[in-house]
Chains A and B, each alone.
Chain A
């Protein structure tokens, strides 16, 4: 996959956006027209105009929604924040901090701040990445 197809993809993206925008405008225009026609008393022609307008707005918003979905699909998943739980077995002092490379469950750490017992890592877990 070279840069060529990447460019082609970008072009098709813009074409789609322009197409969808155009459809949105025409749709809105049709709906406003339809309201005028309906006010003038021509219910049959007004409803057809309205249907066309609603269809246009619907189709364009569908395209936008699809693109949004695709964008979220293409976005790389964020790496989670990893938390290390440290605990003192003697006094029960428990604290959380960010994971550092080299941490593992049941690794002995430096001495506890309160007593002279070594602290222990009792858990490592990942927090869901914030969107």
Chain B
């Protein structure tokens, strides 16, 4: 067909052109996969390079933050470098009965280890600075882990030149890079103590408890007592403005036990993942314990609410996973006002005067006081 198209003057030149043209088809049929592997490897290689820059930036930000909060002349570099590869070995899931306490224990140990490490790196930092430094180091560890894993697959793919090895990582590369980018922005937020998207629940609680005296109830969780139309409100959130999520599950449990189970309702406010296409900062409500993480806190809340048959309501502020670790946007901040109104409406409609209601603002409280 092609021959007939060019075929008017069948000189050497046009024949050669046809041979090259048809030859390239054969070439791509045989070497197409190699070529594709090569192209993907290049993409992943670029991503690895970018991840490395992000990791290095995060590392130097962790070091400079540590130096900034530590007045004494200690060099934090070696300790931070050691700590960047910190890992946790999750408990075995073969025997699921009793796995939650194992998780809880592990998380407690890990948390204490982080706090001790920060204490060694910057012994003179105040509590807010120490918590924020902990956040910075945690994000740096996360970025380092992403870099190491992608680099591993990149090198493995390069070594084997196998399309299937390298495609495993390329398929998820877009989401991974988006997450890494969010992390590398978030680390700045932790270093400066700015609120992040995940703190939406903490802001709602802070708005309800501002100006009221508060006390500590469980690890890094504070509670304040206020009134709303004759109902007694016990409002709890993580103690800000340093970076922490605290242990709200323990706090809720303790409050319910202090009230001898006479709690009419628990309302939890948290930031939650939106679906693609949904507006961020939108507010929805539902039933159940609105709290993320591995599930230890959720388990505690579910157990205690079942024991005393207390209804648990959830109000969520929608945001993407990327937004939840990035500095809080205006839409999400505006969403907290809508969420606040929703919480009040749920309490007014679902309880009577004289009832006790627990309101828990869940999320990282970095940059959010009370």
Contact = CB atoms under 8 A, between A and B. Distances in A.
A70 to B, nearest CB: 7
B6 interface: yes
A124 B184 contact: no
Contact of A99 (B8, B46, B194, B326): B194
Contacts of B45: 5
A106 B195 CA distance: 12
Nearest to A51: B5
A89 B50 CA distance: 46
Nearest to B181: A77
B48 A124 contact: no
Interface stretch (B23-31, B252-260, B303-311, B362-370): B362-370
A54 to B, nearest CB: 15
A110 interface: no
B185 A80 contact: yes
B28 to A, nearest CB: 14
B100 interface: no
B50 A74 contact: yes
Interface residues of A, number: 27
B251 interface: no
A102 interface: yes
A71 to B, nearest CB: 11
A41 interface: no
B184 A77 contact: yes
- Interface residues on chain B, size class: 35 or more
A58 interface: no
Contacts of A45: 5-6, 8
A1 interface: yes
A79 B188 contact: yes
A82 B194 contact: yes
B124 interface: no
A19 B181 CA distance: 32
A55 to B, nearest CB: 11
B48 A1 contact: yes
Nearest to B6: A48
Given A77-B184, A123-B333, A126-B194, A106 B210 contact: yes
Nearest to A81: B327
A106 B194 contact: no
B193 A102 contact: yes
A62 to B, nearest CB: 13
Contact of A126 (B6, B326, B369, B370): B326
Interface string A119-131: 0000111111000
A104 B53 contact: no
B329 interface: yes
27 contacts: A1-B49, A5-B45, A48-B5, A73-B46, A76-B50, A77-B184, A80-B326, A99-B194, A101-B193, A102-B193, A103-B193, A103-B367, A104-B195, A104-B367, A104-B369, A105-B195, A105-B203, A105-B240, A106-B206, A106-B369, A107-B369, A124-B195, A125-B195, A125-B333, A126-B194, A126-B326, A127-B330
Interface of B: 5-6, 8, 45-46, 48-50, 52-53, 177, 181, 184-185, 188, 192-195, 203, 206, 210, 240-241, 326-330, 332-333, 367-370
Interface of A: 1, 5, 44-45, 48, 70, 73-74, 76-77, 79-80, 82, 99, 101-107, 123-128
Complex A-B, nearest 8 residue pairs according to Cβ-Cβ distance, in ascending order: A104-B241, A126-B327, A106-B369, A105-B368, A125-B330, A125-B333, A48-B5, A104-B367
